[in-house]
A and B are shown apart, each in its own frame.
Chain A
C-alpha cells in the first residue's frame, strides 16, 4: 500500500471513540456492581424470598405484598418504617445542624484574609482526622467510654457530680445525642473543607469592594458569601442528608443492633439489617431498599435541579 492512502485513512480516524473507550471501565463496573444489584433488589422486592434455618423459602411472587406488610402497623401499634424514618431524620438533624454551623464558621475563619490564621494545613488535617476512623470502631470506642463502668462514668462519680453512674446507653436523649455527636465529629471536617473550597471560589475582589464600601462582616456574609456559596452549600447539605438516610454503623454498634431504648434510635438501614441478619429476607429488605432508593432519588433530583439553575 502506498503512503498517500495511509495518510488519508488516518485523517478519517474519529478521536471521539477513544473518549468512549476510556469511559467503558466505569460503565462496566457501574453495571456490575451498582446497576445489576439495584435491578435485582427491585425485582426481589416483589417476591417472598428468605431462609428458614438453612432452607431457602421462595422466591414466590407476591406482587406488592412486601410493601403492604411494610406499611402494616406492628404489635406495638405503629408502622415501623414510619417511626424509623422519623428516627433517622431526627438523628441526622441533631448531628447536621451543629455540623453545618461549626463547619461554616471554621470555613469562614480559615478563608478570611483579615484573620489570616496560621497553621491552616495542620488544623485542616486535624479536623478531618475523625473521618478516617472506621465508624464502627469509633462507635465501639464511645460504647466503651460511656458504658456504666466506662471512664466517663468514673470521672462523674469520682468528681461527685452524681452518686450513681449514668446509663448513657439506655436513655433516649443520651443515646441520640451520642449518635449525633459521633456523626458530627466524623463529618464536620469534611464539610468544612468543601465549604472552604466554595468560599475560595468566590472572587476576592467582591469581598474587598464590600469592605471598602463599609459593610460589616455580617453583611458580607449574608449578602455576598452566602448567595454565591449557595450551590455548593446546597450540594453539601443534600449529600449530608443522603448520607444521613443511610445512617447505620454508628447506632448499630452503639445500641447492640436494637436501637435502644424502645427502638428510638433504630434507623432505616438498621431495620433493613434486621430483615437480612438472621433470615436473609431479600424480599422485605428489597422493599425497604426500594423505598430508600425513591427517597434518595427525589433528593438527588432536587440537588441536580438546584445546581443546574445557577
Chain B
C-alpha cells in the first residue's frame, strides 16, 4: 500500500513539474506535430526532399526541417505491398498516436483515384496550397476527387517520349536529328515500316512490346471497367495485336517485362534495340545501364514525340486526412510546384520535367540548356510540347491490376507458352479473383 501511494505521489510530482516547465504561448496557433510521416514506395522523391527541402539529413530514412523530424516509411510497390501497408495505416489513422499518423503519402497515376475518391485524403486548399496556375492542368485533375476537391499535387509532369539510340537511328534512318526522326516515326504505320528496316539492318525496333503498352493504353476511349464490367478498349486490343506482330516478326528483342534485366540489358552499348518509351524520370531511374561508365552509351540518346502522345506514371503527394502537420504538408507541396528555384534545380540537376510551366517554358526556350545524356538535346522543349496533349481520362481504381495483370498474362502468350485466347482468359480469371466487385464475362 505504501509503495503504491509513493508511486502515485511520484507520478503526480513529475506531472506537476512538467506542467510548470511547459512554456505558455497563447499567441501560437494549434501546436503541430514534431514528427512528419511520409509514405513512399521508393526513394526518388525522398532524394529531392533531402536535397531541396530538408535542413539536415539524419539517416536514409530521417531528415530534419526546423524542429520537425521527417520520417519516411517505404514499402516496395510489387504485388501491392505498398498499398496494402498504406491502406492499413490510413484506415487506422483515427486511432493512431499523433506522431504515428500518416501526414503525407505518395501515390502513382495507376491507383491515385483510389485515394482521392476517399475520405483518407484531405483538401489541400484548406491547408494553404492555393496556387495551381503554374502546374499542368492534368496533374491537378488527377489529384482531385469527383467533386473537384484537390487532394494533392505532383512534383513532376510525365509526358512520355520516344527515346532512341542515336547511333542505331543513323544506321537505320540515316539521321539522328530529333525533328527528322520524328517525321519518320509520327504514326504507327511509319513506325512499323521503320521496324522492318531496322530488322533488315540487324537491329530491333523495340526491346519489348511491353514498352509500347502505355502508348496505346493512354489513348483509350473507354475505361477498363465500364458500368461495373471489365471492358477491353479497342486500343488495348490493338496493342495486343501489335505486340504479337512485333514478337512474331522479330521487331522486338524479346518479350520481357518492363522492369526485367533482360530488357534493361538492351540499353547497354551492346544493345541492338532502337526505341524505348519513357518520361523524364525514366532517364535516371530506368536507364542506369545506358549511363554505365564502362558498358553504357551515355550521350548516344535523343528523344522525340513518337507515334502518339502519352504519359507514364507520375508521383503525386497526397495529404492524409487527420495529419497533425498541415502547415508542413502545404509547405512541401508549395515548394515543389511554386518555388521557382527548386523547380529549376529539379530540371537542371535531376533531369526531371517539373510541374511548373513557367520554369519549363523558360528552359525550353533556353538554347544554352541541354541534357548531356541526350547528346546535348534540350529535352524540356520536347516534353513541354508533349505535355499539352496529355489526357488523364478513363481512369478507374482497377487500373493497376488491369494494366499489370494484362502484361503479365499476355507475356505468357508472347513467349509462346499459351494461346492468345488462353492468355486473355487467364487474365480475365485473375481480374475476377482479384476484384470481386468487377463483373467479368
List chain A positions with a Cβ less than 8 A from chain B. 48, 50-55, 57, 74-76, 80, 147-149, 167, 170-172, 256-258, 260-263, 271, 274-275, 277-279, 281, 284
Does B79 lie within 8 Å of A54, measured CB to CB?
Answer: no
Across the interface, which residues of A come within 8 angstroms of B254, CB to CB?
A: 148
Q: Say yes or no: A262-B429 contact (C-beta < 8 A), given A149-B262, A278-B434.
A: no
B304 within 8 A of A: no
Does A262 lie within 8 Å of B432, measured CB to CB?
Answer: no
Across the interface, which residues of A come within 8 angstroms of B426, CB to CB?
A: 76, 262-263
Q: Say yes or no: A279-B114 contact (C-beta < 8 A), given A148-B262, A171-B417.
A: no
0/1 per residue, B412-441, Cβ < 8 Å to A? 100101100010011011101111110010
Does A170 lie within 8 Å of B412, measured CB to CB?
Answer: yes
- Chain B min CB distance to A76 (Å): 4
Q: Contacting chain A: which of B115-123, B128-136, B151-159, B305-313?
A: B115-123
B381 within 8 A of A: no
Does B429 lie within 8 Å of A54, measured CB to CB?
Answer: no
B261 within 8 A of A: yes
Across the interface, which residues of A come within 8 angstroms of B262, CB to CB?
A: 147-149
Across the interface, which residues of B come within 8 angstroms of A147, CB to CB?
A: 260-262
B87 within 8 A of A: yes
Contact of A76 among B79, B118, B417, B429 (CB under 8 A): B429
Q: Say yes or no: A170-B436 contact (C-beta < 8 A), given A54-B91, A76-B429.
A: no
Selected A-B contacts with CB under 8 Å, 15 pairs = A53-B114, A54-B91, A55-B118, A75-B425, A75-B429, A76-B426, A80-B429, A148-B256, A148-B260, A171-B417, A262-B417, A262-B426, A271-B433, A274-B434, A278-B435
Contact of A53 among B118, B260, B412, B418 (CB under 8 A): B118
Using CB atoms, name the residue of chain B closest to A51: B87
B213 within 8 A of A: no
Does A262 lie within 8 Å of B418, measured CB to CB?
Answer: yes
Q: Which residues between 216 and 255 of chain B lie within 8 Å of chain A, taking CB atoms?
A: 254
Using CB atoms, name the residue of chain B closest to A153: B262
Across the interface, which residues of A come within 8 angstroms of B397, CB to CB?
A: 52-53
List chain B positions with a Cβ less than 8 A from chain A. 79-80, 84, 87, 90-91, 114-115, 117-118, 120, 254, 256, 260-262, 265, 397, 401, 408-409, 412, 415, 417-418, 422, 425-426, 428-430, 432-437, 440
Does B115 lie within 8 Å of A54, measured CB to CB?
Answer: yes
Using CB atoms, name the residue of chain A closest to B429: A74
- Chain A min CB distance to B416 (Å): 8
Please report the C-alpha to C-alpha distance between residue A271 and residue B84 in the assembled complex, in whole angstroms.
17
Does B425 lie within 8 Å of A76, measured CB to CB?
Answer: yes
Please report the C-alpha to C-alpha distance between residue A211 and residue B426 in the assembled complex, in whole angstroms.
60
Does B412 lie within 8 Å of A167, measured CB to CB?
Answer: no
Contact of B412 among A148, A260, A274, A279 (CB under 8 A): A260
Across the interface, which residues of A come within 8 angstroms of B409, CB to CB?
A: 258
Across the interface, which residues of A come within 8 angstroms of B434, CB to CB?
A: 274-275, 277-279
Does A75 lie within 8 Å of B430, measured CB to CB?
Answer: no
Contact of B436 among A53, A74, A75, A284 (CB under 8 A): A284
Contact of B117 among A53, A80, A171 (CB under 8 A): A53
Across the interface, which residues of B come within 8 angstroms of A258, CB to CB?
A: 408-409, 430
Using CB atoms, name the residue of chain B closest to A276: B84
- Chain B min CB distance to A186 (Å): 22
- Chain A min CB distance to B271 (Å): 12
Does A261 lie within 8 Å of B412, measured CB to CB?
Answer: yes
Using CB atoms, name the residue of chain A closest to B257: A256
Does B120 lie within 8 Å of A262, measured CB to CB?
Answer: no
Does A275 lie within 8 Å of B417, measured CB to CB?
Answer: no
Please report the C-alpha to C-alpha distance between residue A135 and residue B433 in the assembled complex, in whole angstroms.
26
Q: Say yes or no: A256-B408 contact (C-beta < 8 A), given A147-B262, A170-B417.
A: yes
Please report the C-alpha to C-alpha distance between residue A121 and residue B186 in the assembled complex, in whole angstroms.
69
Does B435 lie within 8 Å of A279, measured CB to CB?
Answer: yes
- Chain A min CB distance to B75 (Å): 14
The 5 closest A-B pairs by CB, nearest first: A261-B417, A76-B425, A52-B437, A54-B118, A53-B397
Q: Say yes or no: A149-B428 contact (C-beta < 8 A), given A57-B437, A171-B417, A261-B417.
A: no
- Chain A min CB distance to B408 (Å): 5
Q: Say yes or no: A76-B422 contact (C-beta < 8 A), given A52-B437, A53-B397, A256-B408.
A: yes
Across the interface, which residues of A come within 8 angstroms of B440, CB to CB?
A: 75
Please report the C-alpha to C-alpha distance between residue A258 and residue B422 in the assembled complex, in whole angstroms.
14
Across the interface, which residues of B come within 8 angstroms of A279, CB to CB?
A: 434-437
- Chain A min CB distance to B114 (Å): 4
Does B415 lie within 8 Å of A167, measured CB to CB?
Answer: yes
Q: Say yes or no: A149-B261 contact (C-beta < 8 A), given A54-B90, A256-B408, A277-B79.
A: yes
Across the interface, which residues of A come within 8 angstroms of B115, CB to CB?
A: 54
Using CB atoms, name the residue of chain B closest to A74: B429
- Chain B min CB distance to A169 (Å): 10
Please report the C-alpha to C-alpha distance between residue A38 and residue B33 in the assembled complex, in whole angstroms.
40
- Chain A min CB distance to B20 (Å): 43
Contact of B80 among A54, A55, A278 (CB under 8 A): A278
Please report the C-alpha to C-alpha distance between residue A52 and residue B434 in the assembled complex, in whole angstroms.
10
Please report the C-alpha to C-alpha distance between residue A51 and residue B120 in the assembled complex, in whole angstroms.
15
Please report the C-alpha to C-alpha distance between residue A80 and residue B408 in the assembled complex, in whole angstroms.
19
| Additional 14 contacts, C-beta under 8 A, given A52-B397, A54-B115 | A54-B90, A54-B91, A54-B114, A54-B120, A57-B436, A148-B254, A148-B262, A256-B408, A261-B415, A262-B417, A263-B426, A271-B433, A274-B433, A284-B433
Contact of A75 among B90, B401, B408, B428 (CB under 8 A): B428
Does A262 lie within 8 Å of B428, measured CB to CB?
Answer: no
Please report the C-alpha to C-alpha distance between residue A149 and residue B120 in the assembled complex, in whole angstroms.
43
Does B430 lie within 8 Å of A274, measured CB to CB?
Answer: yes
Please report the C-alpha to C-alpha distance between residue A279 and residue B430 in the assembled complex, in whole angstroms.
12
Please report the C-alpha to C-alpha distance between residue A172 and residue B437 in the assembled complex, in whole angstroms.
32
Please report the C-alpha to C-alpha distance between residue A95 and residue B65 in the assembled complex, in whole angstroms.
55
Please report the C-alpha to C-alpha distance between residue A256 and residue B405 in the assembled complex, in whole angstroms.
11
Using CB atoms, name the residue of chain B closest to A54: B118
Residue of B254, B401, B428, B433 contacting most chain A CB atoms (<10 Å): B433
Does A170 lie within 8 Å of B415, measured CB to CB?
Answer: yes
Using CB atoms, name the residue of chain A closest to B118: A54
Across the interface, which residues of B come within 8 angstroms of A54, CB to CB?
A: 87, 90-91, 114-115, 118, 120
Please report the C-alpha to C-alpha distance between residue A170 and residue B257 in the assembled complex, in whole angstroms.
12
